[in-house]
A and B are shown apart, each in its own frame.
Chain A
Amino acid sequence: MPYTFFDHTGDFGADLRGADQGEVLSAAVQAFCDLLTGDPSQVRLEVEQPLELEAGDAAELLVALGNELIYGFEAEGFLAADFEPEEVTPRSLRGLLVGEDYDPERHPIARPIKAVTHHQAACEPAAAGWRGRLIFDL
């Protein structure tokens, strides 16, 4: 898996890995789905939601993506499980969120995610590829 959860006292954090920035963004969406559902294999990749975002830097872009996932789930009932990047720069992204509409009968919800935080948020080149960090408020 391209992500590892780490302990944050009241919440959960995720360390993200990828060959490039786009893969780190994809890892963030997968970690979100895993944390939320506890079983991401139950989420079908059958709906595409094109997405464009801008931010001040790569870390802010990661936080902005997390905010889109939460709003999409809570207000629009869209459960994203992956992100397919089309064009990514340190200050912008364009790509497809992929998942399906939330179905309470079929999708287990392990722990609702209320927000993503700027605290310790990171997305940057690493020794091998890129690394990211995101803390989720539960």
Chain B
Amino acid sequence: MSRKQRKRREQRSKRAAKKAERAPRANVELAPAPYAGRKVPLERLDATRYRVPQTGAMRTHGVVYADERILPDLEEDRCLEQVANVATLPGIVGPSLAMPDIHWGYGFPIGGVAAFDPDEGVVSPGGVGYDINCGVRLLASDLSAPAIKGELSELTDALFRAIPAGVGSARRELGLDPRGLEAILRDGVGWAVAKGLAEAEDAERIEEGGHLAGADPARVSERALARGLNQVGTLGSGNHFAEVGVVDEVYDEAAAAAYGLRLGGVTLMIHSGSRGLGHQVCTDFLDTMLRASERFGIPLVDRQLCCAPVKSEPGQRYLEAMSAAANFAFVNRQVMTHWARRLFDTRYGARLRTVYDVCHNIAKLETHPVDGVERELLVHRKGATRALPAGHPLVPAAYRDVGQPVVIPGDMGRYSFVLRGASHSQRSFGSACHGAGRLLSRAAAKRRYGGENVARRLERERGVIVRGASKATVVEEVPEAYKDAADVVGVVHDGGLAERVARIRPLACVKG
């Protein structure tokens, strides 16, 4: 050590020691992955589906929703290997599924769906993801686009101030204390209704009514609570956004009318999740599940697929904690909705009505037909959207004749879509895609577009105003980093999982 280094070290202040108090962790030996180091073969089933053949430790085959336009993109990364890896998990029912926006994740692919028998199967935190109940809420206003056209820049700035975004974003004016946070984790959107932060009809237009039963705040660690305490009502970062848009195409007049969407109408879409709290719950339970996998003798081909039997003690503990984090995410989007409503009311005297709020990252007990028999299954959706058809009892009464709204955000330059759940979603355990899906990695997007001012280009070329907490994030979220959402939605529509209702063009976007 040089004199300079020694002197600098002597000048350092020293904190109290930190010692992580955890049980010794499992030492997990990985089993061979089914297609490790090999190209995954795909067998065409029909115009929108390909089969991943069962091999090695796979307990079932995989099914990937794609067409000729999308297929080459899927072979660019390792997502197809991950479809096969998920098929190795015990108690999987039906195929390991991938939606057309699939891309490389951790353990599960992003865009993966898998259902498990509650008695024979497992629950895996990696099948839900770090951002538990990351999801999207669509709101429709009574404004028409010309009313805001002249002041888009000011509106975007105001939205950026109203919804804290980016690193360290916090919302302290709620004055939440640990008891308040506990109530959020337990009651979900019911907490927001009691606090006057939600309208009466909001809850019925949120998946599961904005509240997962079985949530137990006591299962959420002190670390997770500490990370979440001041984050209720904040956007976060990465691909999260709040976006003002306009309905520029209506494909299904009846469904659009039922959803309150009209050509030229202004919308607001909020994409966010459970913030640091959800990430910490996932982190905590990955440790638990690594030990559980060893204890229950579950062979793993990827540590991120660690899991436990659904009805085991660790399995139930995870579901209780996950449900609490999911309730946090519902409230997070609700509180952002509240502040956006105040903004639209103050500026325009306009009302924002919830069209629907869907989960992207979740595991839930649901009933679906398997070989003609209704079965209760634990459905994992990792980057996928529930898409229930018309007539399903879980679709809100106001939408039951047309089906559940399926909100599919695209990129911040082109368009997003609203679909309605359709009958072939029975093949995918009531699921459809959740977005456009990445085409370029973040690093590739940075290499290709890092030298330009992406926000300025979007304003000049497409008239979209973008405000971002981080320039790097805006570059990495450049529209060209995503597949064309129209292609992805086309597969879902043609495959009969969900049908197009309307298209929304972005006008203003706030990024984390």
Binding site for B on A (CB under 8 A): 5-12, 38, 45-57, 59-60, 64, 67-68, 70-72, 74-75, 78, 91, 98, 102, 104, 109-112, 114-115, 117-119, 121, 135, 137-138
Contact = CB atoms under 8 A, between A and B. Distances in A.
B38 interface: no
26 contacts: A9-B438, A10-B438, A45-B8, A45-B12, A46-B8, A46-B13, A48-B13, A50-B17, A51-B17, A53-B19, A53-B20, A54-B25, A57-B27, A60-B290, A71-B280, A75-B226, A110-B470, A111-B442, A111-B470, A114-B236, A118-B302, A118-B303, A119-B105, A119-B304, A138-B237, A138-B238
Contact of A74 (B106, B126, B227): B227
B375 interface: no
Interface of B: 8, 11-20, 22, 24-28, 77, 79, 103-107, 110, 126, 130-131, 166-168, 223, 226-227, 236-239, 276, 279-280, 282-283, 286, 290, 302-304, 306, 438, 441-444, 470-473, 476, 512
B195 to A, nearest CB: 25
A119 B106 CA distance: 5
Nearest to B238: A138
A111 B472 contact: yes
Contacts of A70: 279
Contacts of A9: 77, 79, 103-104, 110, 438, 441
B479 to A, nearest CB: 16
A109 B104 contact: no
A112 B443 contact: no
B38 to A, nearest CB: 17
Contacts of A49: 15, 18
A46 to B, nearest CB: 6
B214 to A, nearest CB: 24
Given A54-B25, A138-B237, A46 B472 contact: no
Given A110-B470, A112-B167, A75 B227 contact: yes
A8 B18 contact: no
A138 B286 CA distance: 18
A86 to B, nearest CB: 11
Kindly name the residue among A8, A53, A98 whose own CB sees the greatest number of chain B CB atoms within 10 A. A8
B472 A110 contact: yes
Contacts of B79: 9
Given A50-B14, A118-B286, A8 B441 contact: yes
A60 B30 CA distance: 13
Nearest to A78: B15
Contacts of B27: 56-57, 60
Contacts of B8: 45-46
Contacts of B226: 75
A55 B286 contact: no
B438 A112 contact: no
A67 B285 CA distance: 13
Given A46-B8, A110-B470, 12 more contacts: A8-B442, A11-B442, A12-B443, A48-B15, A59-B303, A64-B25, A72-B18, A74-B227, A111-B472, A118-B306, A119-B126, A121-B303
A47 to B, nearest CB: 5
A77 to B, nearest CB: 8
A64 B304 CA distance: 14
A53 B22 CA distance: 9
Contact of A109 (B19, B22, B130, B470): B470
A110 to B, nearest CB: 4
Given A5-B443, A47-B15, A75-B226, A119 B107 contact: yes
A52 B443 contact: no
Contacts of A117: 106, 130, 304
Given A5-B443, A6-B443, A114-B130, A55 B25 contact: yes
A60 B25 contact: yes
B280 A118 contact: no
A98 to B, nearest CB: 7
A64 B306 CA distance: 16
Given A10-B103, A10-B104, A119-B303, A112 B238 contact: yes
A49 B276 CA distance: 22
Contacts of B302: 118-119
A104 B106 contact: no
Nearest to A5: B443
Given A9-B77, A54-B25, A48 B12 contact: yes
